Structure 1
Amino acid sequence: MLKGLWSFQGRYRILHLTWFAFFLTFVCWFNFAPFATVIGKELSLSPEQIKTIAICNLALTIPARIIIGMLLDRFGPKVTFSTLLIFALVPCLATALSQDFNQLVLSRLLMGIVGAGFVVGIRMVSEWFPPKEIGIAEGIYGGWGNFGAFGAEFALPSVALAAGFLGAGSSNWRLAIALTGIISAIYGVIYYKTVQDTPAGVTYRKPKRNGGLEVTSAKSFYAMIAMNFGLIFALGLLAWRLAQPAIAFLSTSQMYVIWFLLAGLYAFQTYKSWQVNRETVAGQKIYPPAERYEFRQVALLEFCYITSFGSELAAVSMLPAFFENTFALEHVVAGMIAASYPFLNLVSRPSGGLISDKFGSRKWTMTAVTAGIGLSYLLARGINQSWPIPLAIAVTMLSAYFAQAGCGATYGIVPLIKKEATGQISGNVGAYGNFGGVVYLTIFSLTDAPTLFTTMGVSALICASLCGFFLKEPKGSFAAHYEEGQASQQSVEAADSMPFVIDNRNE
């Protein structure tokens, strides 16, 4: 597997093309952060408004990941990812053309849809790699994709600086942000022309019904309905935040209208889920053992992603200001130190998947990593101005490693739950990562950094204990072949030996 990564043929070509697509979505998603201070001064934004924009950047990713997961299972990753990359041009241009806080809020809400691209590649990679390699393959995809946050932090200011020399003046940040959308849209066309959904001879498996996640027992249905409420709650929390006097983007009456609409959305989502699963709920349909899965396992993975990716989103958003204020550093220096957190994704996320592959138990890998997340964040809680800066950076990197390895370990399990519903399951799990980010950042906006670190640490330790007691090892966790058998694996191996070609079979 690792030797093959240097190849640009067969399944490795698909992996490289897909992680770069994910990388570009993250560059777009985080293209506001490097310019937050500059934009705040130019548009006269308050610190509370800048924090709110950071939350808005995450908000619509919550429903978007679920919806895109459904579209993915129906239309395939090739069409879905290409469309999303092209769509990224819209919020990028909207951000670049924004003239006030309200326009920025709307543009960043739209940008949250682009942040949902992660789930598409999860399904694509799972189609091309066997279960025994799924952890490292998904880890490489996720690690290099998440590296886009670091790319935005370091590359975009340089682009803006170059634009300034060309005479753009104070609008250089606008040109840099617009450029990310243009590049993403161009690559969307390239991606569509150069990938295919599955290896030759392998059928792309779709859910039997669309409109909601198909579960295999009545108990799982009620568990799914309960978990869906959490995502609606996160959006309601954002509406409450936007209605606070310091922000005043929404009036109190508008907040109540949004809450009413969210209640209607939850009712509609519940109804659609019931339509898909009504025979199962009524006991009229019994799934054979080979097709069953417990939604409890999906719920546990959602909690794992809250503690891993949710905490990563919160940390990336608050660390620059945390280092700047705690150690009285220059803004640029604090930003460079904080950027080392997303930079570590190159190593930590693939290592989480690799450990999950090699350790022999995905369950206990998940348990150990989430415990590491909890302990490292509780250690970070004690960082203050009396600490040596190198020690503070080391503790921050320790928490970054465990949080990002937790992301890799989580998605070493997700594709193994139920193959044909991987998109929807990935969407649900991924949405809870953003749920975690919204909740953690809201807590941070109301309290302080030590409280945030404590909350993230305690949550992760609770998650670790639940994984130890209730998480189950997926069936076929370390199988050498795809579920379709030996022929499928042979087709993958044959694809590895094929030269790079543009394949338009699925157009």
Structure 2
Amino acid sequence: MKIERIGKATKIKLFSLKAPHMRTFHLAWLAFFLCFFGWFGIAPLMAVIRDEFALTKAQIGNTIIASVAITVLARLAIGFLCDKIGPRITYSALLIIGALPVMLIGLSNSYESFLFFRLAIGVIGASFVITQYHTSVMFAPNVVGTANATTAGWGNLGGGVTQMIMPLIFTAFVGLGFVSGQAWRWAMVIPGAVLILMGILYYKFTTDTPEGNISDLKKRDPLYKMRPSNAKVSFFRIAKDYRVWSLFVIYGACFGVELTINNIAAIYYKDYFALDLKTAGLIAGLFGLMNLFARTLGGFFGDKAGIKWGLKGRVYFLFAVLLAEGLALMLFSQMSILPLAIGTMILFSLFVQASEGATFSVTPFINKKAIGVVSGIVGAGGNAGAVAAGFLFKSEDLTYPEILFILGGIVVGVSFLTFLVRFSAEAELESKIEMDESLAEKARSLLEKKLPAKPEVETDPVS
């Protein structure tokens, strides 16, 4: 039996759920949003937990490292699973299993047990790789950067929203009569329960590819091969590509920095600007809220640069926004007046998230036969960067502003690694042909909508 071929989407129809592309788009970003909410739900409550467990600065640094460390390995593994069993089952399983430590962190009764659960929660950070993989499968080259950036950016938004919402949930439990030591524990049950519900919805309403689920397609056609494919490209072959590791470090300098800021922003504003927990959380949340559009802008302009200048245009744009991110972070670190600190933080947030979007406007073109593995390695770089930054924050000799300034300088240096990400003339030509086909398909689709429908013509049956 032949399989009906449904191509990749050449445009993003935000208000449509008819096609599998857009159902996947919306469920992917929502799933990632909830993963982020659960992943960093504990961060804005750290001031309360610090007092309860009498945590030192070094111990808080260890919890920051733990929250992102295991995600490095999880992202590498999850990319492989996406290639092998498809994103639908992989995502559904991750959501449901990852919800358990989110809810169970309330069982912590010491620094050691809290550290263990903080480590376990980090597994759900691998959801990013599935999100990028799934949208890469569903969308054509002319919009894949925008699609990847938007789903990831709106998902990252969960890191900002949780800074605002979790203190309110905590306060609500206190209002119900719970003491603070009980309130933060019950508050973490909420995001865990929602993650389980999301896992069920993702399994029910998404498909692995535009044509359907991999298992069904193989049953209907034993010769069917998933378009981004995988089986013939080993992990080790991908690991030999220096461009992948360049992007690994680059993503560590943008997403790794974002993860770090998500972990320390609330406590930073509370300690250095003498704010209460709710106010500090609201201001810290502004950093994450920029994901509403900032990461999308990175992917969008990456696509535009790709349309005009080819793959090298995507790389040059990535360099520009990454350099701007580093400079903006250095500026933010020097602000001691609250309004100026907020303003420069928002500017920095714009560039850090645009850099993330720009990174994943390049990543799908490194090796189209192993999108999952490449995305997994690059995505793991983000968490590796956060782990490295976490060691800086453990230092008793450096203040947070000094650490942020150093971190900004590192990002400036890393921005020059973008020039190692090069593509052959053949790859540039192949990309141009595929881009032209995508643009032509988009133009045909627009033209068909504008043309009047052809009248039906009745014909006599042949006797």
Q: Which position in structure 1 is the counterpart of 2:373? A: 424
2:331 to 362, 376, 379: 379
Give the superposition deviation at 1:86: 0.4
Q: Which position in structure 2 is the counterpart of 1:4? A: 13
Give the superposition deviation at 1:336: 1.8
Give the superposition deviation at 1:180: 1.2
CA distance in 1, matches of 2:165, 2:300: 29
CA distance in 1, matches of 2:17, 2:392: 44
1:66 to 55, 76, 89: 76
1:451 to 402, 405, 426: 402
* 1:462–1:49 distance in 2 versus 1, CA, 3 Å: closer
SS at match of 1:214: helix
Structure 2 letter corresponding to 1:427: G
Q: How does 1:39-188 map to 2 (within 5 A)?
A: 39-170=49-180, 171-188=182-199
Alignment check: 8 A CA contact 1:29 1:111 kept = yes
Structure 2 letter corresponding to 1:173: W
SS at match of 2:211: coil
2:349 to 388, 400, 404: 400
Q: How does 1:26-41 map to 2 (within 5 A)?
A: 26-41=36-51
CA distance in 2, matches of 1:449, 1:34: 17
Q: Which position in structure 1 is the counterpart of 2:27? A: 17
Give the superposition deviation at 1:47: 3.8
1:442 to 386, 391, 395: 391
CA distance in 2, matches of 1:374, 1:413: 20
Matched, 1:191 2:213: no
Structure 2 letter corresponding to 1:4: K
Alignment check: 8 A CA contact 2:230 2:369 kept = yes
* 1:469–1:195 distance in 2 versus 1, CA, 3 Å: closer
Q: Which position in structure 2 is the counterpart of 1:207? A: 230
Alignment check: 8 A CA contact 1:19 1:145 kept = yes
Give the superposition deviation at 1:425: 0.9
* 1:36–1:482 distance in 2 versus 1, CA, 3 Å: farther
CA distance in 2, matches of 1:357, 1:349: 13
Give the superposition deviation at 1:89: 2.2
Structure 2 letter corresponding to 1:181: G
* 1:408–1:487 distance in 2 versus 1, CA, 3 Å: closer
* 1:82–1:324 distance in 2 versus 1, CA, 3 Å: same
Structure 2 letter corresponding to 1:130: A
Matched, 1:464 2:415: yes
Deviations 1:401-441, CA, capped at 9 Å, x for gaps: 11110000001111121123111111111111111111112
CA distance in 2, matches of 1:109, 1:489: 48
Matched, 1:323 2:346: no
Q: Which position in structure 1 is the counterpart of 2:4? A: none
Runs of at least 5 residues in structure 1 that lack an aligned partner in the other structure: 216-220, 225-294, 495-507
Moved more, 193-202 or 174-183: 193-202
Structure 1 letter corresponding to 2:263: S
CA distance in 1, matches of 2:257, 2:237: 29
* 1:488–1:103 distance in 2 versus 1, CA, 3 Å: farther
Moved more, 402-411 or 91-100: 91-100
Deviations 1:103-122, CA, capped at 9 Å, x for gaps: 11111111111111100111
CA distance in 2, matches of 1:445, 1:437: 13
Give RMSD over aligned pairs: 2.9
Deviations 1:264-285, CA, capped at 9 Å, x for gaps: xxxxxxxxxxxxxxxxxxxxxx
Q: Which position in structure 1 is the counterpart of 2:314? A: 362
Deviations 1:180-213, CA, capped at 9 Å, x for gaps: 1111112101110110011127842432258734
Give the superposition deviation at 1:54: 1.9
Alignment check: 8 A CA contact 1:444 1:451 kept = no
Alignment check: 8 A CA contact 1:309 1:433 kept = yes
CA distance in 1, matches of 2:45, 2:416: 40
Q: Which position in structure 2 is the counterpart of 1:278? A: none
Alignment check: 8 A CA contact 1:73 1:420 kept = no
Give the superposition deviation at 1:484: 11
Give the superposition deviation at 1:486: 9.6
1:313 to 253, 259, 262: 259
Give the superposition deviation at 1:41: 2.5
Structure 2 letter corresponding to 1:463: V
CA distance in 1, matches of 2:281, 2:173: 21
CA distance in 2, matches of 1:482, 1:60: 41
Alignment check: 8 A CA contact 1:132 1:478 kept = no
CA distance in 2, matches of 1:166, 1:478: 61
SS at match of 2:14: helix
SS at match of 2:204: helix
Alignment check: 8 A CA contact 2:102 2:192 kept = yes
SS at match of 2:369: helix
CA distance in 2, matches of 1:452, 1:459: 11
The two structures have a TM-score, normalised by structure 2, of: 0.82
Alignment check: 8 A CA contact 2:60 2:394 kept = no
Deviations 1:36-87, CA, capped at 9 Å, x for gaps: 1222223343343233212211110011110111111111100100000001
SS at match of 2:285: helix
SS at match of 2:370: helix
CA distance in 2, matches of 1:483, 1:66: 32
Give the superposition deviation at 1:2: 7.2
CA distance in 2, matches of 1:430, 1:32: 22
Alignment check: 8 A CA contact 2:164 2:281 kept = no
Q: Which position in structure 2 is the counterpart of 1:334? A: 280
SS at match of 2:226: coil
SS at match of 1:344: helix
CA distance in 1, matches of 2:128, 2:53: 31
SS at match of 2:394: helix
Question: What number of residue pairs does the alignment pair up?
Answer: 413
